[in-house]
């Protein structure tokens, strides 16, 4: 379990918004790989449950595989740095390294043909992030904290014209550290571009 979570890929081109979703998908896939009745397998033909990003899941296959769909909701900067006292937004050092924290809310939709089974899958999701919270915080890079905030009621969902399934939403809040670096050349390049784009803008006096 620890090896899989520690190998969480870094995606610098999506530095901010998709960290939380990627982390939760990885953690749930690892956790459900040891749950016999809903065992996750990287082989689509062998897995008993599909755990994926929102809009990539086909609900028409729920009869063969239960689903866990992860969708991002709000995402906000925490602005937890000493630079707040200097009127700046982020903590930086003389080497151009910056850091702050973000809070992201995720909706984890647990879907099955049966309401009780959807509830059970939602319970397992809650168990993962509640019972093993301390371990997850230790193993996942840059993770500050993760908490289950709400478990919604059963809701009917339309898989297709003839098929209804049941979904139970588990809401999760995740806090993680964000680090980035701006080199002197990058800073100067941005200044040059910015200044060249505003040369025609005149100050408006009231």
pLDDT digit string, tens, across residues 82-104:
454 444 555 555 566 777 888 99
Pairwise pLDDT comparison (126 vs 56), residue with the higher score: 126
Question: Is residue 93 in a domain?
Answer: no
Please report whether residue 25 resides in a domain. yes
Please tell me the distance from the alpha carbon of residue 137 to that of residue 176, in angstroms, as a whole number: 10
Q: Is residue 198 part of a domain?
A: no
Domains identified in the chain, total number: 1
**Percent of the residues in the chain that have a pLDDT greater than 90, as a whole number:** 44
The secondary structure of 110-167 as a DSSP string is EEESSHHHHHHHHHHHHHHHHHTHHHHHHHSTTEEEEEEEEEPPPEEEESSSS-EEEE
Q: What is the pTM of this model?
A: 0.77
Instruction: Assess if residue 85 is contained within a domain.
Output: no
Under 8 Å CB-to-CB from 64, ≥6 apart: which residues?
none
Residue 205 in domain = no
In a domain, 134, yes or no: yes
Asked, for residue 145, whether it belongs to a domain, the answer is yes
Domain span at residue 20?
2-76+102-177
DSSP string, 55-89: TS--GGGTTTSEEEEEEEEEEEE---SGGGGGT-S
* Residue 204 maps to a domain: no
Over residues 107-160, the pLDDT tens digits come to 999 999 899 999 999 999 999 999 999 999 999 988 999 999 999 999 988 766
Say whether pLDDT at 61 is over 80. Answer: no
């Amino acid at each position: 379990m620890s090896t899989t979570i520690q190998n969480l890929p870094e995606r610098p081109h999506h530095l901010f918004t998709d960290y939380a979703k990627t982390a939760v998908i990885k953690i749930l896939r690892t956790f459900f790989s040891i749950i016999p009745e809903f065992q996750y397998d990287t082989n689509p033909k062998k897995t008993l449950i599909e755990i994926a990003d929102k809009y990539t899941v086909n609900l028409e296959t729920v009869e063969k595989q239960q689903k866990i769909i992860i969708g991002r909701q709000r995402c906000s900067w925490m602005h937890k740095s000493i630079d707040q006292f200097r009127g700046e937004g982020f903590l930086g050092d003389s080497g151009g390294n910056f850091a702050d924290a973000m809070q992201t809310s995720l909706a984890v939709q647990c879907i099955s043909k049966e309401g009780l089974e959807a509830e059970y899958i939602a319970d397992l999701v809650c168990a993962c992030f509640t019972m093993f919270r301390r371990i997850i915080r230790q193993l996942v890079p840059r993770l500050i904290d993760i908490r289950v905030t709400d478990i919604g009621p059963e809701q009917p969902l339309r898989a297709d014209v003839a098929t209804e399934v049941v979904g139970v939403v588990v809401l999760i809040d995740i806090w993680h550290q964000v680090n980035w670096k701006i080199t002197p050349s990058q800073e100067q390049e941005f200044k040059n571009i910015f200044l060249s784009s505003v040369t025609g803008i005149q100050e408006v006096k009231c």
